[in-house]
Structure 1
Amino acid sequence: IWQEVLGLEQVGIHDNFFRIGGDSIISIQLVSRLRRAGFELQVKVIFDAPTVAQLAVVLEQSQAAALIVAEQGTLTGSFGLLPIQQWFFDQHWAAPQHWNQAFMLRIPASIDTTAIADAIQHLAQYHDSLRCRFEATSQGYQQHYRDSDHGIMAPLQQHDVSRYDDDSLHTLLSDYQRGFDYHQGPLWQAIHLTGYADGSARLLFAFHHLIIDAVSWRIISDDMQALLTGQSLPDKTSSYRQWTQAVQQYAETHVDETAYWADVLRDPMTLPAPQQPHTAQLRLSNAQTTRLLQQANGGYHTEINDLLLTALALALHDTFGEADCPITLEGHGREAIDPTLDVSRTVGWFTTMYPVRLAVQADLADTLIATKEMLRAIPRKGLGFGALSQQGVWDSTLPPISFNYLGQLDNGTANNNRDGMDWQITADACGEMVSPSNRGDLLLNINGAVQQGVLQLSVLSQLDPTQTQRFTESFQAALETVIDHSCTQAKAGGIKTPSDYSVKNLSLSRLRALESCYGAAGNTIAAIYPANSLQQGFIVHQLRQPEDDAYRVQLLLDYHHALDINAYQEAWRLASQRYPILRT
């Protein structure tokens, strides 16, 4: 399962999930696959046990899983918005009906349109968010589950792409996406595309962004494969409505996060006025992408966002001359805030947006470590920022530079196995997903993903074109520098940082002092944890009365046979490996 989810031919039982290409988005897919295989776990377990060997122990020893509360059947009724949906309505777009997400799924050419229509009908009944519409009320917008998919989904279309050139196909696919109506419907469209030169077919899905996110693409892709290959879908996970209520409750019980976010929003950076919008593209080679995903994270025990944001910090510093740059970071938003909820297979728009500060340090290593530590310190990966904003705790403006990494969209398609290419999200153009008239306030809107084995980053810029070029060239160079440096450090031996230990307020200088004291002769510190109350009493007594041996315990063992000293020493070494307290 790990190999299939990560798209790797081989995974060792001690390979760390996050060092070989895994990320928080892929961890959601992994948990979904494991649950289908009969294991009961939540996404946070992957972070606690990130290797096959560790996870096997956890799953074997775990007690009965927490009862997951999930609404079943066809849902109806009204409920509130998530903060990201509220943000959409607050923008007052010029063309709010044309603000979509779309993706292409490669499917076997042998599947006919009738079978696809039946599967889509089933999909709409199963994923309740696909039947949502939105109503303006005196208290603001509400969303409402319809008990029928009538009017919510546009009729399935079918086209032979061999009859269109690139421009006319782009126009065709764009036209289908311009008329979504979030008040009455439709809010999404599916198109069966045939006639590709290699004999394959595609299924285009286009949704108004209010009901979809990039994690949902994978869920829909997996479910379409299941439905079109004669499989049934599992019981539903927790509903979007349940999640909305949980986020509201989170805001009510986490007002203490306000001080953290106020500090992040301090001293906004002075930036130039917006110019005419234009786009730019960056991409790594296949080899560099492989190094990024499978090797570079070993250098500093990082995740991919740590490396990408370190490169972004360097590029922004080079572009604007500021060492401390606030940006807006997007996350998938499906965080572990309630043990009774599981949204790993729930379709909807869960995205979170929150501010972070990227700080360039004296050298690359320190910048990378500072970025990693900053990201680890964010409460619940930013979920509280939007939740508290929606509750009116503050009226804040997010920084006008935005970054979003969407993960690996086509895991396992880097090989040339044609059978493996079906049921994968492709890099085909999907038409115009967002109206050009929906011009936001962002100076830089950066979105990245790995497709066809290559990291690709798109930049929508409202900077001066010359400044945009400088930024993209700096970002490209910084990415390559960060990858090279991290891979070199991985080969020399990875470096741990304070967030790798479960100790509050452990500074980098304190960690380095501990390593200098206890990490001599090639030893490494495996774990750091606070002394318990009784141990603290022993320590205080020793410091005050160093000559007193009251707490020194000695045990004399009599062996009535000859000892093999080498075997005896080895036995104690193995005992110390089994019992960490003997190495403390």
Structure 2
Amino acid sequence: MEHTVTQVWCELLGREDVDPEASWFALGGDSMQAIQAVARLREHGADLTVSAFLQAGTVRALADLLSTATAGGGTAGPRRPAGTPVPLTPIQAWFFAQDFAEPHHFNQARLLPVPQGLPHSRVQAALEAVVGRHEAFRTRFTCHHGTWSAHLDEQPPPDLPAYPLTAGTDQPSCEVLDPLHRGLDIADGPLWRAGLFTGGEQQPSWVCLVAHHLIVDAVSWGVLARDWQRACTQEAPALAAAPALTTPTPLPDEEETAYWRRLATAVAPRLRLTDGERAPYGKLEHHTLELPGHLTSVLLGLAEGGQATVPALVLAALARALAPLTRGDGLHTYIEGHGRQHLAVGDQVVGWLTSLYPLHLTPEARDRVHLLRVAADFQQQMEAVPYGGTGYGTARYLAPGTPLGRELAAMPRPEVTFNYLGRHSTNSALAAGQTGQGIGPGNVLPTALHLTAWIEGQALRLHLSADAGLFPPGAIDEVCKRLRTELDDATGLVPLGGRPLPGARPHFLVHPVDGQVHHFQPLARALGTSGWDCYGLHAEPTDEAEVGIEALAASYLARVRSIQPAGPYGLTGYSFGAAVAFAMARQLQEAGERVDHLILLDPPPLPVPKGAAATTVLAEHMATLLPHTPRHAIDEALEAVGDGATGRQIAAQLGLADDTFVTARLELLMRHHRALTGWAPSGTVEGLHLIQPSANGTRPQEGWSGLARGARRSVVPGDHGSMLTEPAPLAALYPSPVLEGGAR
């Protein structure tokens, strides 16, 4: 069972392997993916709930749990007849309370891929099997004397009209899909509609399924995607009935009630909005931001450190982006969650179960700190919300006459809504792309700003919608710029330790030639216990042909100043990074700043080797990067491409041109190699500490010593790599900032 659990986790988290003792969230997982994981494990015969999955937390604990409880997979009762009442969910009650101008036009839609060659009749049968499995598609809503209720109706066979794809396109356009969104009726039906889009032999085919939001949510589409795959691939498309929602959402217990009462009486920050009429959805301003793959991977790395999740990091960036427009500290926002914590079969149910609740997120630190520190504070506050926030909607909208319901109705409403949709692979059974206008242009949303975030493939994507007329002119553009800058800055500097000790002092460590900073983790943990707050400066891919050492130093100092605007500074450079750290120290001192500590770990010899000697060093670095490539193949590739070759040329010579990860790493390696071989150090610094591993023997470093007005040399056990992986002797050579007076 542990092998099965590991396989599912690796598939969903995009990893080759996982530590069986590492927690789901520390590995980058989120609650949305947890629902997907439970569904996958059910397919392997596991009897599991989402809450049990999250409570187990690790591969090993989950495998132990499942080894004593397999089989099952969720039970469904007999098909319930038309007229059966269905309890409203809190979010459905919220919807009716909004009194939207176009309540029938509040939809979601997805494109479902049709297997090549599947005839129209089989596609229609598959669609009938999928929608027939879930009671949501038979639900109707009625209003009596101002009170809404839900009941089941009969479901007629689905109509699936066919439309041609435009020549030369792979997906239907929004203009073609928009008509599918019109004409739904929440009382009399239909609440969903579908269309089949087909093209020529070289074009894919799709079913666009449009459903009113009252009967689907983000999790539902994952359920429908799995059903769709089964219905399209098995000979008989019929599917067993899914579990149904039969009991109302429970009212908050005593502990929950106390939590929401504290929130209702707290003083929350407010956006500085101008007076004016609220703009309908059709007049909102929309912005889309994308964090490139290499920066998203750094952001995920921050999340995998366990202090904060991706949603907390994005919320921290949003809080800072909105700070100039906010009265008070922190961020007052509605949070959307999946709302399925109380359901044993939440991974199998289609319906609108989203939780929507207010939260006042407050950073503990008032000074400028790394975004991760703010996100860690936000994460703790988000984790303190009981039952994923479902109790708020239950009391506020399903029991508005209770004392708690009245208190929640009277509290100030946030003007921000945040929704994190999780992580989606590019080979998902649901196609990415536009699916038409889901929300009626006349509907007025309840908050002035909405931010939706998700990870698609390798990139973090953000969609911001705002009622720009309520903000000062140009304010939303500035918010988007600040939001992107905050995320860029967060990925430019990587906190390497846990939460720092009180009074800890920043210390910045510059990457070696491969551009990575994970090498410093053991050293950073050791230094953290003595009062250093360590940050890694990693390299970023760039389109520039050449980046010299001095230019890198200036760029890295801009990142450093985002955390520590003024000295005294502490810098460490490892291998190639020693040259950059030296240049940073010299530039700081020339600007009148103090650099108390400049520590160079096993730096390259000076003068820097040229010609054949430099090529030999480069080949050694490549052999480390490409452990499965024979050394002779690397030597032959370098000889074939000659001096000045790019990483892409070398990758092609090695037959690795299609491996984008390897190509990017080789490109970075070559850029740093050329930067170092073209560098001639100039000027001097006040002092430096050269530290070499004992495996290097007594290799002289007079070239470095001559660049300092006072240099010290030390030797630690080990070699170039183990001096960092076994860091105790190395960490002992760093002075204690506490003894020096702590943070200054």
TM-score, normalised by the number of residues in structure 2: 0.59
Alignment partner of 1:162: what SS? Answer: coil
Match of 2:265 in 1: 263
Helix, strand or coil at the partner of 2:353: coil
Which is greater in Rg? 2
Structure 1 residues 71, 313: CA separation in 2 closer, same or farther (over 3 Å shift)? farther
Cα distance in 2 between the residues matched to 1:436 and 1:36:
41
1:81 matched residue in structure 2: 88
Residue 359 (structure 1) shift = 2.2
Q: How does 1:274-285 map to 2 (within 5 A)?
A: 274=278, 277-285=284-292
Decide whether aligned partners of structure 1 residues 36 and 372 sit closer, same or farther in structure 2, where only a CA change above 3 A counts.
same
Q: How big is the shift at 1:520?
A: 6.5
Q: Shift of residue 67 of structure 1? A: 11
Higher relative contact order (CA 8 A, sep 6+): 1
- 8 Å contact 1:305–1:405 — kept in the other structure? yes
Change (3 A) 1:52 1:66: same
Which of 222, 227, 230 pairs up with 1:223? Answer: 227
- Separation in 1, partners of 2:443, 2:59: 46
Q: Which amino acid aligns with 2:475?
A: Q
Q: CA deviation at 1:266?
A: 4.8
* Aligned pairs for 1:497-512 within 5 A: none
Gap regions ≥5 residues in structure 1: 414-420, 498-515, 523-584
Shift of the alpha carbon at 1:448? Answer: 1.7
**In 2, Cα distance between equivalents of 1:251 and 1:137:** 29
Q: Partners in 2 of 1:100 and 1:91 — Cα distance?
A: 15
1:322-401 to 2 correspondences below 5 Å? 322-335=328-341, 337=342, 341-360=344-363, 361=365, 362=367, 363-364=369-370, 365-390=372-397, 391-392=399-400, 393-394=405-406, 395-396=409-410, 398-401=413-416
Q: Aligned residue for 2:612? A: none
Structure 2: which amino acid aligns with 1:352? S
Alpha-carbon separation, structure 2, partners of 1:351 and 1:213? 7
The one-letter code sitting in structure 2 at the alignment partner of 1:100 is N
1:55 equivalent to 2:62? Answer yes
What does 1:28-39 correspond to in 2, within 5 Å? Answer: 28-39=35-46
Matching residue of 1:482: 490
Q: Does 1:125 align with 2:129?
A: no
- SS state of the match for residue 181, structure 2? coil
What amino acid does structure 1 have at the position aligned with 2:331?
A: C
> 1:126-175 deviations in whole A, cap 9, x for unaligned?
101111111112361111112x312xx76112222125989994222101
Q: Which runs of 5+ in 2 are unaligned?
A: 1-7, 502-524, 532-744
Residue 406 in structure 1 maps to residue 421 in structure 2: yes
Instruction: Give the Cα–Cα distance (whole angstroms) in 1 for the partners of residues 229 and 71 of structure 2.
Output: 28
Cα offsets for 1:504-556 (capped at 9, x unmatched)? xxxxxxxxxxxx9xx9699xxxxxxxxxxxxxxxxxxxxxxxxxxxxxxxxxx
SS in 2 for 1:262: helix
- 8 Å contact from structure 2 (residues 251, 395) kept in 1: no
The CA distance in 2 between the partners of 1:277 and 1:141, in whole Å, is 29
Answering whether residue 439 of structure 2 is matched by residue 434 of structure 1, we say yes
User: 1:35 Cα shift?
Assistant: 1.5
**Does residue 239 in structure 1 map to residue 241 in structure 2?**
no
2: distance between equivalents of 1:453 and 1:158? Answer: 34
Q: Partner letter of residue 342 of structure 1?
A: V
Q: After superposition, what is the alpha-carbon deviation per residue over 1:244-280, rounded to whole angstroms, capped at 9, x for unaligned?
A: x1x1444699544442331356565543335652111
Name the counterpart of 2:111.
Answer: 104
**Aligned to 1:17, what secondary structure does the other structure show?**
coil
AA of the residue aligned to 2:420: Y
Residues 20, 58 of structure 2: 8 Å contact kept: yes
CA 1:233/1:354 → structure 2, altered by over 3 Å: closer, same or farther? farther
Is 1:354–1:385's contact at 8 Å kept on the other side of the alignment? yes
Native 8 Å contact 1:269 1:325 kept in 2:
no
Q: Does structure 1 conserve the Cα–Cα contact (< 8 Å) formed by 2:13 and 2:28?
A: yes
Please, which of 116, 121, 129 is the counterpart of residue 123 of structure 2?
Answer: 116
How far residue 357 of structure 1 moved from its aligned partner, in angstroms, is 1.3
Separation in 2 of the partners of 1:287 and 1:240? 42
More deviation in 81-90 or 161-170?
161-170
Which amino acid letter does the alignment assign opposite residue 354 of structure 1?
Y
Structure 2 letter corresponding to 1:182: I
Change in Cα spacing, 1:106 to 1:178, as seen in structure 2 (3 Å) is same
- Percent identical across equivalent pairs? 27
TM-score, normalised via structure 1 length: 0.74
Deviations along 1:312-356, one digit per CA (max 9) or x if unpaired, are 111121443642321111111111x36xx3221100000111111
The one-character-per-residue Cα deviations of 1:411-455 (angstroms, maximum 9, x if unpaired) are 2x3xxxxxxx4x622222111111211122421111122224322
Q: Measure the CA separation in 1 of the matches of 2:499 and 2:430.
A: 36
1:472 corresponding residue in structure 2: 480
Deviates more, 1:450-459 or 1:96-105: 450-459
Structure 2 residue matching 1:176: 3-state secondary structure:
helix
Is residue 2:312 matched to residue 1:316? Answer: no
Displacement, 1:406? 0.9
Query: Quick one: distance in 1 between partners of 2:453 and 2:112?
Result: 19
Cα distance in 1 for partners of 2:267, 2:116 equals 52
**Offset of 1:203 from its aligned partner?**
2.0
- d(CA) in 2 for partners of 1:381, 1:260: 16
The alignment's C-alpha RMSD in Å is 3.2
- Return closer, same or farther for 1:255/1:72 CA change in 2, 3 Å cut-off: farther
Q: Residue 456 of structure 1 corresponds to which residue in structure 2?
A: 461
Q: Secondary structure at the match of 1:447?
A: strand
Distance 1:57 1:47 in 2: 14
**Matching residue's letter, 2:436:** G
Question: d(CA) in 1 for partners of 2:65 and 2:91?
Answer: 34
Q: Residue type of the partner of 2:390? A: L
Matches within 5 A, 1:298-317: 298-317=304-323
Contact 1:354 1:398 in 2 (8 A): no
Return the match for 1:43 from 46, 50, 59.
50
